[in-house]
Amino acid sequence: MALTSWKAFRFFDVSLVRLPGGDGSVALDQGSASCIVAGTTNLIVGTPDGFVHLLDQTFKSARAWKAHETGSITHIKQVPDTSYLITLSEDLSNEPQLKVWSLDQSEKKSGNPRCLSSVNVQNQRKTFPVIDIAVTSDLAQLAVGFGNGAVTIVRGDFVHDRGTKQRTVFESEEPITGLEFREAKTTALYISTTSHIRALTISGGGQGTPARTLDERGCAVGCMTFEPKSSDVIVGRDDAIYVYGLRGKAASYAYECSKKLISVHKDYVLIVSPPKGNFAGVNALRAFGGAQVEGLLNSSNFTVLDTDLKFIAQSEPLSSEVNGILSIWGDIFLLTVDGKLYRYHERTFQQKLDILYQRDLYLVAISLAQKAKVDPVQQNVIFRKYGDYLYQKGDYDTAMQQYLRAIDNTEPSQIIRKFLDNQHIRNLIDYLEALHEEGKATSDHTTLLLNCYAKLKDVDKLEAFIKQPGELKFDLDTAIVMCRQGGYYEQAAFLARRHDEHGLVIDIMIEDLKWYAEAVAYIVRLNPVDAFPNFMKYGTVLLEHRPIETTRLFIEYFTGQYRPKKDAVIVQDTPAQPEESAAGFGTVARSAVQNLAAFIPLPGMTMSSANSTSSAKEQQKTTQVVETSTAGDFVPYDVPKPRVAFSAFIDHAEEFVTFLEALVNSVDVQAGDKQELYTTLFEIYLHQASSTRAEEKTEWERKARALIESKDVPIDTSNVLLLSDLEKFRDGTVLVSERQGLRFDVFRSYTTAKDTTGAIRALHKYGPEEPQLYPAALAYFTSSAQILEEAGNEVDAVLKNIDADGLMAPLQVIQTLSTNAVATMGLIKRYLSSTVERERAEISANRKIISSYRTSTTQTLADISALATTPTSFSATRCSTCSTSLDLPTVHFLCKHSFHQRCLNIGDGREVQEVECPLCAEKYRVVREVRRAQEASVGRHEMFLEEVGRSGEKFGVVGEWFGRGVMGVRNVAE
C-alpha cells in the first residue's frame, strides 16, 4: 500500500454492535439479508423473501412489511430528505420489479407503508441482473443499470402513479458497475463500467448527445460513489482514488491497494480493501502458515481518508470480509458477510487535537481546525501551542509567526517574556508592532517597542511606526515621551504635530531641538487660542534667542492685530536651484520656515501636503513654502490684558520697551490699560537709566521726563513719586511736586541733596510765586562755606527779594545769619545800609503824614464848632437844581446849597428838617455806611484774630482796627 507520505491516526472509536435477539430482531448475515442500506433515520434491510425491515437505533425492526411477492429485494434507495423509499426485487424469470413507497403514509387495513407506484423495469427483454440504481431528488427520473451494459431511464410521476416512460439511454459491451445522478442546470448521469467512466446528459442543454467519456478506465462494482458537496463522483481503483466532474478528472490521490467498496461520510472517503487471499502463491503461504496465515489472508482492511488534508483518519484490518458500508446517525457502520456490525464513532475535535499534540503535528491540527471552522479562540490556542513547540526547538522566527496568529487571545506578557533578550529583539518588535496594529497595545507596550527601535537604532522603522496612516494605534503621550528620551526629537515632534498637540511640538523644538526660529514660525501659524498659551509659556526663552520676531508676535497679539500665517507648498518639477537663487522671492518664508515645512506639516497645512514635501527627496524637485496672510484670515479673539505679558520680558528690557511703546501708541489698546502701560514704561525707562551711563543714561532720563511731562499721559502722581524716589530720579519728584503746588518741597529736595545749582534753578522758577522760598534759600546758602561759594551772588539777590517783599525783619535776617560762622558782616553790609536808609525815609514820611492828619483834624473840629455856635449866612441867588432865581419858599442847607422847595419834591406831611441836600446826600450816605460797618465789626473777634495771625505786620493791623473806631465804639457802648 502506498500513501506512505500520508500520516495515519486513529480518529474513530471502534466497537462491535451487539445485535438484539428474539422477537423483532433481524439477522444481517449475507444469507438472511439480501440488501442493507442506510436511510434518513433508519437502517433499511431487504430480505430474499421480499420483506423490508426498518431498524431503529437499537437495531430492532421498528417496521416491516411484505414489499414484493416474488423475487429477492436486491436494491433499496431512499430519496434524500424525503419519506419516499424505492425497492427493487429481481427474479431472473421476470423483469425486475420497482416500487415506490411513502413511509409517512400507511394503508388503512394493514398499516404498512403505502405503495405509490409499481413498475417493471425493461431491459429489451434481456435477462441480466440489476447492478445499480440511481434516482433524482425530485423522484422524476430513475436510472437502472444492468449487467449487460445497458442503462434504462424511467421517467414519470411515481408519487401519483400517473404512468411512466422507459427508455434505454446507454448501452455498452462492458457491464455497468455504478450509477450516480448529478443535478444542476442540466441533469447528468455518471455511468461507470469495468472499462470506462462516462457522463451522460439526461435533461437540459446537451440532452440526446452521446455520453462523454471521462476516463478510459472503469472501476469495480461498489467502487464509485457520489460526493454531495462538489456533485462529483469518487472512483476507487487499485492504484489511486480519482475524482471526476463533468469535464473530466478533477483530482487524484495515490493509494495503492485493491478496493472493494468506496463511500463518503462527511468529508471522509471510506475505502474497504478485499482480503488478500487471491494473489499468486497464496496456497503455499496457507500451507506454510497454518491457521494464523489463513486468518490474515481472509481479513479485509478498512481505511478512512481525509483527502483535503491528506491524512488517514483511521486504518485497521477486519477479521471478516466486509459486505457493506453504512453511514447513519453520525457514525460509520461496517457490515461483514457473517452478519457482524462494527460501529466507528468519530472522536471529538478536542480528542483529535490531543492526538495531534502528542505527535507534535501542529500543522495538521491547524488545518483540521480551519477545515472544521472552529471558533477563532480555539484556533488561537493551537497557534500558541505550535509557537511554544517551535520556540522550544529554537525556530524563533516561525514561532513568532504563530504567536502573531494567536494574538487575539493570548496574554501579551507571556510572549514578550520569551523574547526579551537582545538576540530576539527583532521578533519582539514584530510582536509589539502587531499588538499596536490590532489595537491591543498598552502604554507599556509602546514604551517597550520604542525602546527596541532605539536599541537597534532603526530610525526607518521608528518613522514608519509613528507615521503610519489611519487611526492612532498606540498611546500618544507614551510614544512622545519615549521618542524624546531616546533622542528622536524630530519623530516626537511629528507625532505631536500630527495629532495637533501644539504645546508639545513647541516644547520639543525649544527644549530638545533648540529650534527657536522654527518655534516662532510654528507659533505664528496657530490660531489665536492655541498660540497664546504657547508663546506666553516660552516667551522669555524666545525673546533671548529670537528677540525681534518674538517681540513682534507679542505686539501683534496684544494690539488685537494677530493673524495666523497661512502657507502654500509649491513643488516644481525642475532641478533643485542653489539657495542663492531663491532669495529673490519676496513672499517666500525664511529658511526657518522652509526647514520646518520639510520636517513636519505646518499648522494650516494638511498631512498630504506634508507628504508631498517629503517625497521631494526621492524626486529632484524644488519645494518652497509661500506665506500668505489676508484680511479674511483674521480670527476674532479676546485680547488679554497687557499686564499678563510683562513677566515674559524679565531680563529683556530693550524688547520690553519696544513692546510697551508699541502698545501705548496703538489705538487698539483700551484706555483703561494704558495707565498701567505708561506707568510700566516709565519704570523701565528709569531702570534703564540707572543701569547705563553717560549718553545712554541721559537719553533714558529724557524719555522718562518727556513721558511724565506730557499732559496726555495718564500716570498716577503717587506712582511717579514712588518710582522716582526708588530710582533717584529727581526730575520726577520735582514734576510731581510742581503739579501738586508743593514748590517748597521741590526746593527742599534740592537743598536736602545739597544740589545748589538745582536749588538756585528752583528759586528762580518758583520764587516769584512762592516768596517764602527766599528766607529758606538764605538759610541754605549760608549753611556752609562750600554752598555759599557755590551760591555766589545769589545771596545778594535773595536778600534783595526779602527786603523788597518785606519777608523778614532785619533782625530776623541777622538772627538767621548768626546761626553759624559762615556769613560775615561784609555779606550783609549793603543789605543793612539800604535797610537803615529805607526805614529812615519811612519814618520821615510817616511824620509828614501825621502832621497833615493833625492839621486836617484841627480844621475839621473848628468848622464843626463854628457851625454849632455861629450863624450862617446864605448868599446864593439861584437854585442849585434848576439854576433859576430863588424865590420863596426857599430851602438852604449848611453845605451852602440852596433850592426851591418845589425842586426838592417835599411831599405833604413831610418836615423840611428831614430833607437832605441832594447833592451831598450820596457822600454822606457812604460815610454813614462805613461807620455802620465799623460798628458791626466790633463784635467779630474771629475776623480780627485771623487778620492779625495772617499778617506779618501785626502792630499795623491793631492800629488799623483802632483807627476804625473799634475802641471808641466799645466805649460808647459801655
Q: Cell for 784?
A: 556752609
d(CA 557, CA 16): 96
Mean pLDDT of 793-799: 78
Average pLDDT on 572-598 reads: 47
At 589 the pLDDT is 39
Is residue 515 classed as helix, strand or coil in its secondary structure?
coil
Q: 660 to each of 710, 847, 946, how far by Cα in Å?
A: 17, 72, 53
* DSSP assignment letter at 912: G
Q: Work out the mean pLDDT of the chain and round it to a whole number.
A: 82
290 φ, ψ (degrees, to nearest 5): 75, -145
More confidently predicted of 551 and 747:
551
Written as one string, the DSSP assignment of 380-400 is HHHHHHHHHHHHHHT-HHHHH
Task: State the pLDDT at residue 43.
Answer: 94
Q: Which CATH class is domain 877-919?
A: alpha beta
Contact 435, 445 (CB under 8 A): yes
Query: How far from 273 is each of 265, 316, 318, 332, 506, CA to CA, in Å?
Result: 17, 10, 10, 16, 81
State mean pLDDT over 588-596: 55
- Which one is predicted more confidently, 233 or 911? 233
User: Residues 613, 571: contact at Cβ < 8 Å?
Assistant: yes
Of 98-112, 271-285, 503-517, 790-804, which gets the smallest average pLDDT?
Answer: 271-285
Is 332 exposed, middle or buried (CB count within 10 Å of its CB: 0-12, 13-18, 19+)? Answer: buried
Provide the pLDDT for residue 285: 47
On whether the CB atoms of residues 677 and 669 are closer than 8 A, the answer is yes
3-state SS assignment for residue 57: coil
CB 391 within 8 A of CB 402: no
Q: Are 564 and 524 in contact (CB under 8 A)?
A: yes
pLDDT on residue 614? 43
Residue 79 has pLDDT above 90, yes or no: yes
CA distance 624 to 147: 91
**Distance (Å, whole) CA 630 – CA 635:** 11
Q: How confident is the model at residue 763 (pLDDT cuts 50, 70, 90)?
A: confident
One-letter amino acid of 879: C
> What's the pLDDT at 837?
84
| Beta-sheet strand order (sheet of 176-183) | 176-183, 187-193, 197-203, 212-215
Question: What is the per-residue pLDDT for 937?
Answer: 73
Q: Given this model, what pLDDT does residue 594 score?
A: 64
Q: What is the pLDDT of residue 875?
A: 81
The 3-state secondary structure of 88-113, one letter per residue: EEEECCEEEEEEEEEEEEECCCCCCE
**Contact 465/453 with Cβ under 8 angstroms?**
yes
Angle at 287 between CA 282 and CA 293, to 5 degrees: 65
Q: Cα(597)–Cα(591) distance, rounded to whole angstroms?
A: 10
Pairing of strands 311-318, 7-8: parallel
Average pLDDT for residues 764-778, to the nearest whole number?
A: 77
Instruction: Report how far residue 756's alpha carbon sits from residue 780's, in angstroms, rounded to the nearest whole number.
Output: 9
- Inter-axis angle of helices 825-869 and 810-817, to 10 degrees? 160
Categorize the per-residue pLDDT at 771 as very low, low, confident or very high, splitting at 50, 70 and 90: confident
Answer whether residue 804 shows pLDDT above 90: no
Span between the terminal Cα atoms of the chain, in Å: 171
- CA-CA distance, 202 to 210, in Å (whole number)? 10
Q: How many residues does the chain have?
A: 974
Residue whose grid cell is 461483514: 336
> Which band of pLDDT confidence, cut at 50, 70 and 90, is reported for residue 219?
very high
Could you tell me if 335 and 341 are in contact, meaning their C-beta atoms sit under 8 angstroms apart?
yes
Q: Which ranges in 417-546 belong to alpha helices (H)?
A: 425-437, 443-456, 459-466, 476-485, 489-498, 502-507, 516-523, 528-537, 539-545
| Residue 39 CB neighbours (<10 A) | 19
Banded pLDDT at 602 (limits 50, 70, 90) = low
Burial of residue 298, with CB atoms counted within 10 A of its CB: 0-12 exposed, 13-18 middle, 19 or more buried: middle
Could you give the CA distance from residue 576 to residue 30 in angstroms, rounded to a whole number? 95
Q: Is the pLDDT of residue 611 over 50?
A: no
The residue whose grid cell reads 460808647 is: 972
pLDDT at 73 over 70: yes
What H or E segment, with its residue span, contains residue 622? strand 622-628
pLDDT of residue 700: 82
- What is the residue-wise DSSP string for 369-380? HHHHT--HHHHH
Name the residue with cell 411477492: 69
As a whole number, mean pLDDT of residues 918-937 equals: 80
For residue 167, the surrounding DSSP H or E stretch is strand 164-170
3-state secondary structure of 199: strand
570 contacts 675 by C-beta, under 8 angstroms: no
Do 76 and 43 meet the contact criterion of CB atoms below 8 Å apart? no
> Domain segments of the chain: what residues?
751-847, 877-919, 926-974
Question: CA–CA separation, 115 vs 108, rounded Å?
Answer: 12
Tell me the CA distances in angstroms from 898 to 838, 890, 912, one per residue in order. Answer: 51, 7, 13
pTM beyond 0.85? no
Residue 37 pLDDT class (50, 70, 90 cuts): very high
CA atoms of 687 and 693, how far apart (whole Å): 12
Residue 481, classified by CB atoms within 10 Å of its CB into exposed (0-12), middle (13-18) or buried (19+), is middle
CB 622 within 8 A of CB 572: yes
Residues 581-609: b if buried by 16+ CB within 10 A, e if exposed: eeeeeeebbeebbbebbebbbbbbbeeeb
